[in-house]
Structure 1
Amino acid sequence: MVLSWKAISEVSFSVCMHNSAKEALLLYKHMLEAGTIPDELTFVAVLQACGIFAENEVTSVYNGIALKSISIEIVKAIKMDIWKMGCSFDMFLGSALISCYGKCGHIFEAECVFQGLPKRDIAAWNSMLSAYIEAGHEEKALRLYRQILEECIGQGQRTVAIVLQACCILVEKENFSARERQFAKEMALSISQAIHAGAKRNGFHSDMFVCNSLVTIYSKSGELALAEGVFFQLPRHDMVLWCALLTGYVEQGEAEKGLLLFKQMLVEGGSPEKLHFVVAFQACGYLAEKEQAVLIEEYPLKLIALRLIQAIHADAEVKNLVSDAMVGSTLLCSYGKCGAIREAQCTFEELVHRDIVAWNAMLSAYLEHGAYEQVLSLFSQLLEYDVTFDSVTLLCSLKACSETENVEVCTQLHHIIVSSMGDANLLLNNSLIDAYGCCIRTEDLKASFDCLCEHDVVSWTACISGHARRGDFALTLQMFEEMLSTGIKPDEIAFLSLVSACSHAGLVLEGVNYFNSMTIDHVIAPNPKHFASAVDLLGRAGNFIMLKALITKMPFKTDMNIWLSLLAVCRTHGNSELGKHAFDCAVQLQPLESTIYVLMSNMYADSVLQYS
């Protein structure tokens, strides 16, 4: 039996579609060259191949729209062939063309085809919904879904799946203002709850995709009780569903629940994959960041978090996942938050491919541990590798410069920022100003400040603090007054710098006025650092009458720095009575702190020498 070219091509299209969309499109070209007239089914297959080709094509962005320049030209040519052959755009062919336009990023053309269809079945509506999602128009997809409901068009699981996908994307979008994000979440949540109710009525509320989407949306919207309701009503859970609820717990700050769920997943025979380990390590990191004083069964929370990380680390090692960049970076970041710097270093060194996330995680771990010289050393190593660093890298390095007063590296970072980022990144430039201030380079500080197009309260405060560190009270006050004249409200750091500057300049009355103005004029409650600075201010001047009045009204009785500052002041001025009070308060807080006893011993020794 001799098969026709058309029959061969129909079989070949199916084979090519499984192997390569490009092969299918070339086969279509050969078919036309052979003089064979394609029918509607052939055109549908070719458009499907073109859609697959578009998915794999590198996207070019024009006016903020992602476009597929090669694929769209192929679509236009196929559409012209359809017109030439006299085929009408019925629902079947129209749906394929809409889908293709959506994957190419040409949403207007997709809408024109959709509006031009004489009749629309649910497949056409689904194609238009998918096109909107492909083009990043999730809000339009949800509005179209409302139209489906209003026109009482029958919908199935495919429609529900597409709409839930739109809701998932919408609740995860970051390029919204706070108000827009809130509105988007509320709309996505409202539609998801309606779909959930409909799924229960129509009997597909146990469908895995539907459940995965609902858990994700409910979690992202902060509705963990609803997410748990969907999850725990199921008799079994796939790994995607486990990951959805795990992620939800961690993102909503429920690290303990996340780790308990991870344990339950293992007990039920779940086999965790890369993303499960990433989320579990994140949960451990969040646990370690909680208040250090928290104890569970007499063990510090950080120690418990470290033990959990080590156990999960062992499981990840069995699956050979620790060398993965994402898993490894999250693991070493978690170790860093526990203060386990050696384990973080080992994890970093074992990574086969270190991307910038891994480098940043190691830099952050050193920074949190107070290993500032190691931060700068690692940054120096990073420059030798072909790794594109980002603002996080520079922020970590600038912070280390601030702490070590390393002018050389600070200047190097300044050149990098100017050449690669300019003054667009305000956070980065503010950190640069602060670093120059810590290095007592007020000329560079002022030059960096003046180069900024805009100044926020952090910019001004960094500048004020820099002049205060240098002991230049006149410039400190001048910058403060200039900030007020621009309408920017000072923060607590600005006042801390002012009181400190007054203390070093011996301007007691001015310092007290600024301390009081902070509360009276600017409604800023003093924190322990402000009180410690005020103690230093009054103590340097030997004004014990005002000092006793300050301590009496001080709300912070449990801050060690205040009592150490007072003890040092009492030693300087030989005030044994008040010094004994400061000593007793400090010992109650930290009886093993050696500095307390050294200061008290020196104070008594000084008084004995003076008496002698």
Structure 2
Amino acid sequence: MLLGICLRPTSSNATLHARYLHGGNLLSQEMGPQEESNNPSFWVRILCKQGQLAQAVDLLCGMHPPPSSRVCLFLLKACNHQRSLFEIRRIHAHVARYPILLTGSLADYLVMTLARCGALDDALHLFLALPSRTVYSWTAIMSAYTECGQGEDIRKLYLSMLDDCVEPDAYTFVCLFKACGCTRDLGLGKELHSEARKKGLTGDVYVGNTLMSMYGKCSALKEAEDVFKGLDSRNLVSHCVMLSTYVAQGEGGKALLFYRQMLDENINPDRLASMLALQACALLADNEASEAKEGESNSLSLLQIGQAIHADALRKGFTSDIYFNSALISMYGKVGSIMEAEQAFQVLSMRNIVTWNAMISACVDQGMGDEALWLYCCMQKERVCPDQLTLVFTFQACGIYKELIYLDIQSNSKACLEIGRALHMDACKRGVTMDAVLGSALLTMYAPRRKYNS
């Protein structure tokens, strides 16, 4: 595809590159003297600021002589912000009439904008037609391939970039590591890590954070820890990435120890770090429940840790966040404090499917099948549509309910079966995909009731 392309090397616009990758304003610097009110460029900027992109592009396309690159950049940035692909293509068609404009930072940003808005073929066509490519345009294309789920092509792109005599920089490696994380390509990730180390780029905190994330997604916990220890400087994001890696790998104990280390080092946890610590508590409680070792229960200590995190979150105002509260509800359910889970659920002014799932799951964890089914009905009354996970929990709730009523007469058992059938029919009507987890919960629900000796 791109292999074999070799054009003369060009210098990169480092400032533009950095601002793009960090989501900054490309035109945050003054654009020179303000245009007079009778100058079309002035009105293009005014229309952009008012969100009237179609009118701004109309004005741009009617400008003779052609507009300056800075005006086109300003308009492209506005279109990129609103993901307005139709208007971006109109700008591209207009600018293409003036080859002198389609160079440098404007061409690079146009490639990136087309790619980010889903027009990968258009971006690639423009990219290949550029008279010269910079590290910025190469990185934009790599990023676009990753975001479009085509990260497996990243090695070819990287080799083509080197053949093009363009030297990768820190932001290029950030993109490469993201692609390796998405494709779980540990071998390529290690190879690129070695390249970045040789170029002296692994000390950069942004590169290091992405590298840790990549190793975490590839289940390479030790490598992620080594990267964290080797960083010249660390920020809160570095700690959150490492904390997230421990949780994702099921290392709840290490996650809590790491969280405690953050506090000891006077690193103030943010909402994400606190949420991950709650997930670590839930993870440990879940593991303990599955092992069911007598005399070794840590539920009380986990509850106390969770309560301490909750108290800190109240002081910081995190509990107004739906996703934080969902983690809180789940944690309380896992450690056996259903009353506190209900309190966290009730205080929410708004609830989404994640919150409802957390509360229904908490009831299931505590063997409260009837309560979980009642919540399922309440959720639908609030016009919240159940998802696949909700149905897994409700099928499990039916199974629990069936076991709880085993002493009763046949009628209750039949009623429970009817509830399960109704749930199954609801899932079919909604077109829910029947994967292994959902299928297993369904089989358990339909399985014959256990026989108990009197």
TM class, shorter-chain normalised?
0.7 to 0.9
Higher mean Cα deviation, 102-111 or 422-431?
Answer: 422-431
Alignment check: 8 A CA contact 2:37 2:43 kept: no
Residue 417 of structure 1 corresponds to which residue in structure 2? 427
Residue 193 of structure 2 corresponds to which residue in structure 1? 196
Distance 1:347 1:88, change over 3 A: closer
Structure 2 distance, partners of 1:226, 1:258, is 16
Q: 1:154 aligns with which of 167, 170, 175?
A: 167
Residue 336 of structure 1 corresponds to which residue in structure 2? 333
Residue 363 of structure 1 corresponds to which residue in structure 2? 360
User: Is 1:304 equivalent to 2:301 in the alignment?
Assistant: yes
Residue 4 of structure 2 corresponds to which residue in structure 1? none
Residue 523 of structure 1 corresponds to which residue in structure 2? none
1:23 deviation in Å?
Answer: 5.0
1:462-503 CA-partner distances (Å, limit 9, x unpaired): 4xxx4xx5xxxxxxxxxxxxxxxxxxxxxxxxxxx9xx8xxx
Code of the residue aligned with 1:107 in structure 2: it is L
Higher mean Cα deviation, 407-416 or 363-372?
Answer: 407-416
1:349-399 CA-partner distances (Å, limit 9, x unpaired): 122222122222222221121122222222232232121112332333333
Q: 1:353 aligns with which of 329, 350, 353?
A: 350
Counting only pairs closer than 5 Å after superposition, residues 370-409 of structure 1 correspond to structure 2 as: 370-402=367-399, 403-404=401-402, 405=413, 406-409=416-419
Q: Mind listing any 5+ residue stretches in structure 2 that lack a counterpart?
A: 1-32, 403-412
Distance 1:338 1:31, change over 3 A: closer
1:312 deviation in Å?
Answer: 1.2
1:407 deviation in Å?
Answer: 4.0
1:15 deviation in Å?
Answer: 8.0
1:433 deviation in Å?
Answer: 5.9
Code of the residue aligned with 2:431 in structure 1: it is M
Alignment check: 8 A CA contact 1:249 1:258 kept: yes
Q: 2:226 aligns with which of 226, 229, 250?
A: 229
Alignment check: 8 A CA contact 1:25 1:46 kept: no
Structure 2 distance, partners of 1:379, 1:31, is 54
Residue 157 of structure 2 corresponds to which residue in structure 1? 144
Code of the residue aligned with 2:246 in structure 1: it is Y
Structure 2 distance, partners of 1:384, 1:137, is 41
Any idea what SS the aligned residue of 1:290 has? helix
User: Is 1:98 equivalent to 2:111 in the alignment?
Assistant: yes
User: Is 1:109 equivalent to 2:122 in the alignment?
Assistant: yes
1:561-586 CA-partner distances (Å, limit 9, x unpaired): xxxx7xx8xxxxxxxxxxxxxxxxxx
Structure 1 distance, partners of 2:355, 2:210, is 30
1:217 deviation in Å?
Answer: 0.9
TM-score (norm 2): 0.78
1:409 deviation in Å?
Answer: 2.8
Counting only pairs closer than 5 Å after superposition, residues 303-322 of structure 1 correspond to structure 2 as: 303-322=300-319
Root mean square deviation of aligned Cα: 3.4
Alignment check: 8 A CA contact 1:295 1:301 kept: no
Counting only pairs closer than 5 Å after superposition, residues 76-91 of structure 1 correspond to structure 2 as: 76-85=89-98, 87=100, 89-91=102-104
Q: 1:53 aligns with which of 64, 69, 82?
A: 82
Any idea what SS the aligned residue of 2:168 has? coil
Alignment check: 8 A CA contact 1:239 1:272 kept: yes
User: Is 1:38 equivalent to 2:64 in the alignment?
Assistant: no
1:328-347 CA-partner distances (Å, limit 9, x unpaired): 11111111111112121211
Taking every aligned residue pair, what percent have the same amino acid on both sides? 29
Structure with greater proportional helix content: 1
Structure 2 distance, partners of 1:4, 1:383, is 56
Count of residue pairs brought into register by the alignment: 408
Alignment check: 8 A CA contact 1:339 1:369 kept: yes
User: Is 1:281 equivalent to 2:291 in the alignment?
Assistant: no
TM-score (norm 1): 0.59
1:280 deviation in Å?
Answer: 0.7
Counting only pairs closer than 5 Å after superposition, residues 567-606 of structure 1 correspond to structure 2 as: none
Q: Which has the higher contact order (CA 8 A, sep 6+)?
A: 2
Residue 176 of structure 2 corresponds to which residue in structure 1? 163
Alignment check: 8 A CA contact 1:212 1:240 kept: yes
Any idea what SS the aligned residue of 1:253 has? coil
Residue 185 of structure 1 corresponds to which residue in structure 2? 184
User: Is 1:74 equivalent to 2:87 in the alignment?
Assistant: yes
Alignment check: 8 A CA contact 1:129 1:162 kept: yes
Alignment check: 8 A CA contact 1:335 1:343 kept: yes
Alignment check: 8 A CA contact 2:388 2:433 kept: no
